[in-house]
Amino acid sequence: MKVSILLSSVLSLVLLASCGAPAPAGPAEPVKITIFVGFGTGGDPAQVEVHRKLAEAFNAAHPGIQVSFQTVLNADHVTKFTTMLASDTVPDIVMPVGVQGVAEFFDEWIDLTPYIQADKYDTSDFYGPAKEAHTYAGRVIGLPIGVYPQVVFYNKDLFDRSGVSYPPKKFATPGWTYDALVQMAKKLTLDKKGKNAADPEFDGKSIVQYGFGGWEGGELRGVVGKFDGNMRGFSDDYKKVIMNDAGWKAALQFMADSSLVWKITPKFSSTAAVTGTFTAGDPLGTNKVALWECYSWASYLYENWNKNFTWNVAAVPAGPHGTIIAQANDDTFAISKHSKHPKEAWEVMKWLLDPPQMAQLTKSYGAIPGRKSLADGWLSEMKASNPNVDWDVFIESNNYAEKPNAESWNPAYRQVWDEMQKAMDQVTSGGAADGAAVAEALNAKVQGYTDEYWKTAGK
Amino acid sequence: MKTNPMKTTPSKTDTWWALFFLGPWLIGFLVFTLGPMAASLWFSVTRFTLPAAPVFVGFDNYGKLFTADPRFLGSLGVTFLYAGVTVPAGLILGFALAYFLNLKIPFARFWRTLYYMPAVVTPVITGTLFIGLFDPRHGLINYLLAQTGVAGPDWLLDPRYAMYAVMLISLWGVGGGMIIYLAGLQSISTELYEAADLDGASPTHRLWKITLPLMSPIIFYNLVVGIIGTFQLFTQVWVLTKGGPASSTEVFNIYLYKTAFEYQNMGYASAQAWVLFLLILALTALVFKSSSTWVYYENEVKG
């Protein structure tokens, strides 16, 4: 009996509460914006902490929008993001993402042009080539957060020991070509008796030091551009594959000759086959490689280099026809076309692109800020960290970025990417000596993927 | 009416209890095995590139596999090469090891443990360890070769040698088969050997006429498991080379994984998975069929 009285009292109270006066209208629920991290850098604990603090600062200043970061492992990003697409739970923003990440999900991003125009947003402060890297047929997918231009890193100690002059730091220095680099690298490639690769008595089977680390970590289409090949690798309508022109053949031949004929480059594989080996990913760090052409994302290696040898950077050489291309990787953001709040997502991104926030982000990513106005600050910081390096070479390199970017979209993107990596593997691992034959085989394979792509595109 | 005392009919309560205990497994089997298998069979006859919805295309995917995809045939070739070398080599090495470790040798238990240990190490650890050992410049293997005057190859970095390196690594785990052979060898009655000795049989005769026939069911088991294992090879290659360099170690499962999770082509990958399933089924059936001529059970006599 007591129980039934108690129950009816509770039920009456609930009923009274629900029939009471309407609650006063509170402030509108803030719009929730999620930023997906995992397409590139951004997953290290220190970077996660930077993201968290930026989110806190944004949320405190913008009561109408609440932003949060969702971080996944880089290796899982394709699977995770695809699953989100399939289940319609796509986050609003992806960041940081490179040109490759944008290309992997090419149709999933909104065009920022209307937002930029509506806000009269000033984009003149961003590096021009980096902006172009994120613009496709008039569609602006993102704006550069950070850039990673290519330079030639070199080990000064090895140069000093061999009595070889350092490479020039000024871009377009007369005579600074890949031919000159080969001659320089030969003098720096030594066998166990100390003979260099330019010496007739040099023993190519007992090399203890290499002159040139090649483009380990680089992208084939960018190298092709240096040799005046078709950098896109495709006709304008992307239906005919052009990966067998003279430039493609010359680029692949140069890589094959570097290790097999001139013996200035160790046999490397550009696939993940070597990511676990002790020398892979960091030829210069072995202290047995004199020159290495790589992007500024190698910054995570500087600490180790500083401990073991003195180093500096030089300009990227000119190709056989005088073309200078310093490849560039870029970090940007992209707003999903499935976002329910693209306007608010754009507001978040504008705030993150503001100089103070961009400086924090790029410092944590190891990138050069995408705004020209932040270059001086970056240079001061870097000079303070290592005064022996000509840091301004990185800034100048931005003017020589490739167009289109070596990671830009093409049909059957991942398959074609894999085939290009395999072609590079063949010539950098010593598996093939004939660059022209590799180029022809690559062209045929990629044409097959491309035909298949267009056969089913839009169906 | 008489009832058979040996035959009992379970009560309803017993049936419910049985289902209750079997339930978790049944649900797991339906949700995580049978369901996905049925789904993949459907996907295999569709064009299904995520995030787009699947579109029925009949047997196009299967047709393309055998007529227009050299990479698929290449990966099959690599898989058959790997299986053709490692399955027989694993069987022979495992048996030989077990045979010698079954003899009365000093510290037999120690040697058995030592040879079995690699079999309990996960493929990820084994792979990582061998990346270091096979490193062309700093690895132990090339160092030892150099001591004998042989210049070691670039192993995992050279398309001509990478697959051989993977094969050698797989033989490192031969202790798994060895322990099964060892158990079988120890279960053979010593009376048979004593009788053979009295009849003047040589050690070779004893091996061919007693040991091998009585071990044949175990060899058969290891052969079937070996074939299935080699065709399912994935983790070790993924850790070591990811199928490179230049596709030289791209076994079937690596290509399948890339098709599904890198190229997002779920329909085509499902067709590949079913071809793999049917291939393993056919090879296993072939081995079962042949077993009637060379596998001896208990006191069976053939010929």
What digits encode the pLDDT tens for the residues B236-275?
A: 999 888 888 888 999 999 999 999 988 889 999 999 999 9
Task: Please tell me the distance from the alpha carbon of residue B185 to that of residue A393, in angstroms, as a whole number.
Answer: 71
Of A195, A217, A215, nearest in space to A205 by CA: A195
| pLDDT class of B2 with cuts at 50, 70, 90 | low
Task: Find the range with the poorest average confidence among A67-81, A439-453, B6-20, B154-168.
Answer: B6-20
Give the distance from residue B177's alpha carbon to the nearest chain A alpha carbon, in angstroms: 29
pLDDT surpassing 70 at residue A444: yes
CB distance B254 to B241 below 8 Å: no
Interface test with A, best of B75, B135, B157, B257 (most A CBs within 10 A): B157
Contacts of A412 in chain B (CB under 8 A): 263
Would you list the DSSP string of chain B? ----TT--PPPHHHHHHHHHHHHHHHHHHIIIIIHHHHHHHHHTTEE-BTTSPPEE-TTHHHHHHHHS-HHHHHHHHHHHHHHHHHHHHHHHHHHHHHHHHTS--TTHHHHHHHHHHHHHS-HHHHHHHHHHHT-TTT-HHHHHHHHTT-----GGGSTTTHHHHHHHHHHTTTHHHHHHHHHHHHHS-HHHHHHHHHTT--HHHHIIIIIHHHHHHHHHHHHHHHHHHHHT--HHHHHHTTT-STTTT--HHHHHHIIIIIS-BHHHHHHHHHHHHHHHHHHHHHHHHHHHHH---TT----
Q: Quick one: what percent of chain A has pLDDT higher than 90?
A: 70
A127-141, A154-168, A266-280, B89-103, range with greatest mean pLDDT: A154-168
Q: Per-residue pLDDT averaged across B53-72, rounded?
A: 91
Residue type present at position A61: A
CB distance A271 to B241 below 8 Å: yes
Q: Tell me, what's the pLDDT at A11? A: 43
Q: Per-residue pLDDT averaged across A307-315, rounded?
A: 96
Do B244 and A272 lie within an 8 Å CB cutoff?
Answer: yes
The 8-class DSSP code of residue A209 comes to E
Q: Is the peptide bond before B245 cis (omega within 30 degrees of 0)?
A: yes
Do A273 and B55 lie within an 8 Å CB cutoff?
Answer: no
Q: Tell me, what's the pLDDT at A58? A: 96
Give the distance from residue A333's alpha carbon to the nearest chain B alpha carbon, in angstroms: 21
Of B74, B85, B84, B127, nearest in space to B251 by CA: B74
- A200 reaches B (C-beta below 8 A): no
Q: Per-residue pLDDT averaged across A420-433, rounded?
A: 86
Q: Per-residue pLDDT averaged across A85-112, rounded?
A: 91
Q: Tell me, what's the pLDDT at B139? A: 84
Q: Tell me, what's the pLDDT at A18? A: 43
First-last CA distance in chain B? 49
Q: Tell me, what's the pLDDT at A129? A: 82
Do B157 and A267 lie within an 8 Å CB cutoff?
Answer: yes
Do B47 and A456 lie within an 8 Å CB cutoff?
Answer: yes
Q: Tell me, what's the pLDDT at A267? A: 77
Q: B56 forms bridges with which residues in the sheet?
A: B46
- Residue carrying the six token digits 């394979």: A445
| pLDDT class of A25 with cuts at 50, 70, 90 | low
Supply A59's token pair: 């949320």
In tens, the pLDDT along B131-144 reads 888 887 778 998 99
Supply A342's token pair: 């693209």
Contacts of A279 in chain B (CB under 8 A): 135, 137-138
Task: Find the range with the poorest average confidence among A83-92, A266-275, B163-172, B205-214.
Answer: A266-275
The 8-class DSSP code of residue A284 comes to G
| pLDDT class of A275 with cuts at 50, 70, 90 | very low
pLDDT surpassing 60 at residue A271: no
CB distance A166 to A390 below 8 Å: no
Total Cβ atoms within 10 A of residue A401: 24
Q: Which residue of A has its CA nearest to B160?
A: A431
Q: Per-residue pLDDT averaged across A287-293, rounded?
A: 92
In tens, the pLDDT along B160-186 reads 899 999 999 999 889 889 999 999 999
In tens, the pLDDT along A149-195 reads 999 999 999 999 999 999 999 999 999 999 999 999 999 999 989 99
Give the distance from residue A155's alpha carbon to the nearest chain B alpha carbon, in angstroms: 20
Q: Per CB distance under 8 Å, which residues of B are interface residues toward A?
A: 47, 50-51, 55, 68, 70, 128, 131-132, 135-138, 151, 154, 156-160, 162, 239-248, 258, 261-264
The 8-class DSSP code of residue A269 comes to -
The answer to ipTM > 0.85 is: no
Mean pLDDT (chain A) is 88
Q: Per-residue pLDDT averaged across A245-268, rounded?
A: 92
- A422 reaches B (C-beta below 8 A): yes
Q: What angle do CA A227, A440, B69 make, to 5 degrees?
A: 135
pTM, 2 dp: 0.82
Contacts of A422 in chain B (CB under 8 A): 244-247
Q: Per-residue pLDDT averaged across A132-138, rounded?
A: 83
pLDDT surpassing 80 at residue A218: no
Contacts of B261 in chain A (CB under 8 A): 78-79
HSE-CB at B269 with a 13 A cutoff on CA atoms is 20
Give the distance from residue A49's alpha carbon to the nearest chain B alpha carbon, in angstroms: 29
Q: Tell me, what's the pLDDT at A384? A: 94
| pLDDT class of A262 with cuts at 50, 70, 90 | very high
DSSP alpha helices (H): ranges in A197-299?
220-226, 246-260
